[in-house]
Amino acid sequence: MFAQPYDFVLRGGRVIDPETGLSAVRDVGIARGRIAAVSGQRLDGRTVLDVAGLVVAPGFIDLHAHGQDDENHRYQAMDGVTTALELEVGTGGVAAWYAAREGKRRIHSGVSVGHVPVRRIALRDTGPGLVPGGEAARAVATAEQISDMRRLIEKGLQEGALGTGFGVQYVPGASRWEILEMFRVSGRFRAPAYVHIRHMGDAEPSSAMIALQEVIAAAAVTGTPLHVVHITSSGLDATDKLLRTIADARAQGLDITTECYPYTAAMTELQSAMFNEGWQKVLGIDFGGLEWVQTGERLNAESFARYRKVGGMVIMHMIPEPMVNLAIASPLTIIASDGVIANGKGHPRGAGTYARLLGYYVRERKLLDLETAVAKATLWPARRLETYVPAMKRKGRLQEGADADITVFDPATVRDKATFANPAQYSEGIRHVFVAGQPVVRDGKLVENVFPGQAVRR
């Protein structure tokens, strides 16, 4: 494809390409931002990196990355991520979101147009945080407000959004008709819907199963491709039932996918509707199962009430470990972080999701093989998007002509270091990361002052 010498050559690593099934020692040549050669013969380049004993994989693609600034991109790059997308919550101003990040991306990024933010616009809610609290969450929208939401969703899709995001649980006032109307807009564009479903757990009549059936029906009625986010933190003890239902829907021809993260705790905003009356029964935990992110303290009734008035992030230690194990190993699940770090505070998934997958679940627990784990982090998320975003056909692969988004890691040492007490710690064992053919991690260290990331846009 390109004449030698290449800009970079990765020499002698174990190349994994999930699409073709390649898992063998090869040289990889990089030129002009693309993978120019994958060869069993020795290649020469202007810069040659000896990667013998290391795995050379497509760059990891995170479909659920709330952290969309340079603080987060640094942790993501050190975790092997080359593309981080904000698809669940999304934004109400797509063009402005992309413009604000132009020329400032260490890695690739992109966004959906979100039902929650456009609902806040339609209901004139200007409160803090990613999701509304109080009346903006509980209010039943008028026909005129629903019409405004439809218009804003359509505008966002026309501006290049990667689909439509839904955080249905955070806006309990949103009727099923309101959600269906937003699906109708997305369906007209054949734009995927990325959905945090309405309910959690196994308690009827407000169970995760009822909530899953709601969005499966909406997808079937409108022809909207459906992606259900963080299946374990919505499903809890019912995760196995949700996965079986998704498998059955796929067998009937429905375009539906799902994701999980490799942790037994979730994180959200304490002021959100998730903590309305009855939350203990739904989540299966009490105050002591909540950890206030800013201090690390476990809550009690008094501190819960005080912090809920202030608002802020809280970690919920609530996901049964057997359900995490089941989801990680499932042939249905993409790996996505749901991560965000703010001023060094947050959930460890914002810094360690992919190293934890490779180090703990592949090497130590042996819940899945290395090739499958790599596919869950690369090819599968690319395929979720590529029908709607054709540029994604060049990502998630390690083959000639693909984008040179590449992660090189040591399978013997890769591990997450981020903890709940100290989430702001870089992963180890991620040796080199290339974004659009340019190194952003070299020899296990960030390369400073380089911003090769591009907008991922419809």
For residue 127, what pLDDT is reported? 77
| DSSP notation for 406-437 | EEEE-TTT-B----SS------BSEEEEEETT
Q: Are residues 236 and 196 part of one domain? A: yes
Instruction: Please indicate, yes or no, if residue 349 is contained in any of the structural domains.
Output: yes
Which domain does 27 fall in, by range? 6-58+400-412+419-446
419/32 Cα distance (integer angstroms): 38
Tokens of 62: 């995170």
With 70 as the cut, is the pLDDT of residue 409 above it? yes
Q: ∠5-9-12 over CA atoms, to 5°?
A: 130
Instruction: Please indicate, yes or no, if residue 194 is contained in any of the structural domains.
Output: yes
pLDDT grade for 2, boundaries at 50, 70 and 90? low
Q: Are residues 256 and 140 part of one domain? A: yes
Tokens of 92: 């109400």
Q: Are residues 433 and 369 part of one domain? A: no
Q: Tens digits of per-residue pLDDT, 127-146?
A: 777 777 777 788 999 999 99
Amino acid at position 195, single letter: V
For residues 94-113, give the mean pLDDT: 97
**Residue indicated by tokens 């912090």:** 307
Instruction: Please indicate, yes or no, if residue 308 is contained in any of the structural domains.
Output: no
Q: Are residues 96 and 15 part of one domain? A: no
Tokens of 73: 């991109």
Tokens of 156: 């966002």
Buried b (16+ CB within 10 A) or exposed e, 316-328: bbbbeeebbbbbb
Q: Are residues 363 and 375 part of one domain? A: yes
Q: Are residues 236 and 211 part of one domain? A: yes
Taking CA atoms, 435 is separated from 35, 60, 182, in Å, by 11, 11, 34
Instruction: Please indicate, yes or no, if residue 217 is contained in any of the structural domains.
Output: yes
Amino acid at position 108, single letter: H
Instruction: Please indicate, yes or no, if residue 290 is contained in any of the structural domains.
Output: no
Closest by Cα among 268, 277, 187, 191 to 233: 268
Q: Are residues 338 and 435 part of one domain? A: no
Question: What value does the mean pLDDT of the chain take?
Answer: 96
Q: Are residues 53 and 77 part of one domain? A: no
For residues 343-372, give the mean pLDDT: 98
Q: Are residues 111 and 47 part of one domain? A: no
pLDDT grade for 5, boundaries at 50, 70 and 90? confident
| 166 three-state secondary structure | strand
235/222 Cα distance (integer angstroms): 24
With 50 as the cut, is the pLDDT of residue 1 above it? no
Q: ∠164-169-172 over CA atoms, to 5°?
A: 105
CATH of the domain at 54: 2.30.40.10
For residues 299-317, give the mean pLDDT: 96
* Cis upstream peptide for 5 (omega within 30°): yes
With 70 as the cut, is the pLDDT of residue 403 above it? yes
| 115 three-state secondary structure | helix
| DSSP notation for 5-54 | SEEEEEEEEEEEETTTTEEEEEEEEEETTEEEEEESS---EEEEEE-TTS
Domain count, the chain: 2
| 350 three-state secondary structure | helix
Q: Are residues 76 and 50 part of one domain? A: no
356 close to 429: Cβ distance less than 8 angstroms: no
217/195 Cα distance (integer angstroms): 13
As to burial, measured by CB atoms within 10 angstroms (0-12 exposed, 13-18 middle, 19+ buried), residue 285 is: middle
For helices 143-158 and 115-122, give the axis angle rounded to 10 degrees.
Answer: 130
| pLDDT above 70: percentage of residues in the chain | 99
Q: Tens digits of per-residue pLDDT, 25-52?
A: 999 999 999 999 999 999 999 999 999 9
Buried b (16+ CB within 10 A) or exposed e, 292-304: bbeeeeebeeeeb
Instruction: Please indicate, yes or no, if residue 324 is contained in any of the structural domains.
Output: yes
As to burial, measured by CB atoms within 10 angstroms (0-12 exposed, 13-18 middle, 19+ buried), residue 196 is: buried
Instruction: Please indicate, yes or no, if residue 243 is contained in any of the structural domains.
Output: yes
CATH of the domain at 220: 3.20.20.140
pLDDT grade for 284, boundaries at 50, 70 and 90? very high
Query: For the chain, first and last CA: distance in Å?
Result: 27
φ, ψ of residue 182 to 5 degrees: the values are -70, -40
Instruction: Please indicate, yes or no, if residue 284 is contained in any of the structural domains.
Output: no
* H or E stretch covering 116: helix 115-122
For residue 130, what pLDDT is reported? 75
Q: Are residues 174 and 75 part of one domain? A: yes
As to burial, measured by CB atoms within 10 angstroms (0-12 exposed, 13-18 middle, 19+ buried), residue 331 is: exposed
Residue 160 CA, chain-centre distance (Å), reads: 19
155/231 Cα distance (integer angstroms): 29
**Residue indicated by tokens 């996505």:** 336
Q: β-strand 256-260 against 226-228: which pairing, if any?
A: parallel
Q: Are residues 92 and 239 part of one domain? A: yes
Q: Tens digits of per-residue pLDDT, 202-245?
A: 988 899 999 999 999 999 999 999 999 999 999 999 999 999 99
